[in-house]
Chains A and B, each alone.
Chain A
Amino acid sequence: MGHDSPEAIKAEVKRYMMVFAALAVLTIVTVAVSYLDLSIGAAVVVAMIVASVKGTLVAAYFMHLLDERKTIYWMLAMTALFFGVLMIVPAGAIADHTGTSTEVAREGGEEHH
């Protein structure tokens, strides 16, 4: 929302600079971690955690979501819900093993008995 006294705005500007420094450091961390010999699973988890922290900083401070109206929070909650549904689609597809080789092999084995 932003509070418009000059002192409050100047304090905000200081916070923006601190957030910028944090984002720059986290970008370096993201790149540095990619050079470590991590398994793909661990690399995905670490990269997404760092990206989420960076995203949260941008949303909280630059988009001033720390201090916003309820209308926006409700709208974002609905967006998060539907975004979750979008992410469940590939998760469901990955978890679905119907018709995969393991099952085919097992069924084939049963036919022999």
Chain B
Amino acid sequence: MEIPYTVEPRPDTGLYNAKLGIWLFLASEVMLFGALFSTYILLRTGNPNWVQHPMDVPLATLNTMILISSSVTVVLAWAGLRLNNFAQFRKFGILTFLLSAGFMVVKSFEYSAEFSAGLFPWTDNYMAVYFTMTGLHGLHILGGMVVLGYFLGPGAKMWKSNPKQFTNRIEVFGLYWHFVDLVWIFLFPSLYLL
């Protein structure tokens, strides 16, 4: 039996199923990260002896630029498919993958420097919040890389059999990726600059 509404929109929602699904998932993600931000505010304002360790702002700024760039490359990859140009999708898809790998490499440098300085998740509340939030965000990047790797590799076969559905899949992946970028946009000032 064929799964309905993978390409054409459902009459009641006006959306194809995967798009409705990803927005519901992103709503749950807002609550997940929202709970962590809420915890951070509560811990920080409730502790008069809050210790804020100086973080590596240049490296975090570089990572912000990397993530913003990857958001652009994702929409350019999607635009390529809509223009029926698979080569453009492939080029910008690979670039997105490389940028996300770059983000993880920079993050690993940061974590190593922090471990070398004796800063661990159990050091104090700030470090616990920092590692929990950036770690969870990093896991989201890793998850995105796995999905994108699939679409650039074995999953790309669908472009030949069902190009519309493949284009929709990349749109849905893009929405997830922009959300991960959006979370970082708030994490960066909250954890590094304030």
Count of residues in B whose CB is under 8 Å from the partner chain: 47
CB neighbours (8 Å) of A23 from chain B are 68
How far, in angstroms, from A31 to B189 measured CA to CA in the complex?
A: 8
B64 CB within 8 Å of chain A: yes
Q: Could you tell me if A69 and B186 are in contact, using CB atoms closer than 8 angstroms?
A: no
Given A9-B82, A86-B31, A34 and B38 touching (CB < 8 A)?
A: no
* The one of A16, A55, A79, A93 that contacts B186, using a Cβ cutoff of 8 Å: A55
Provided the pairs A59-B182, A62-B178, A63-B175 are in contact, do residues A12 and B38 lie with their beta carbons within 8 angstroms? no
Chain A, 28-44, contact with B by CB distance < 8 Å: what is the 0/1 string? 00110010000010011
Residues on the B chain within 8 Å of A83, using CB: 30-31, 34
Contact residues in B for A24 (Cβ distance below 8 Å): 65, 68
Query: Which chain A residues border B71 with CB–CB below 8 Å?
Result: 20, 58, 62
B contacts with A: majority SS: helix
- Given the complex of chains A and B, what is the CA–CA distance between A50 and B65 in angstroms? 15
Q: Given A50-B189, A79-B30, A89-B38, 17 more contacts at CB 8 Å?
A: A20-B69, A23-B68, A24-B65, A27-B68, A31-B193, A34-B57, A43-B193, A47-B193, A54-B185, A55-B185, A58-B181, A69-B15, A75-B24, A75-B27, A79-B31, A87-B37, A94-B46
Chain B CB within 10 A, most for which of A2, A34, A54, A94: A54
Give Cα A6–Cα B83 distance, bound, in whole angstroms.
6
* 5 interchain pairs, CB-CB under 8 A: A24-B65, A48-B189, A62-B71, A83-B34, A89-B42
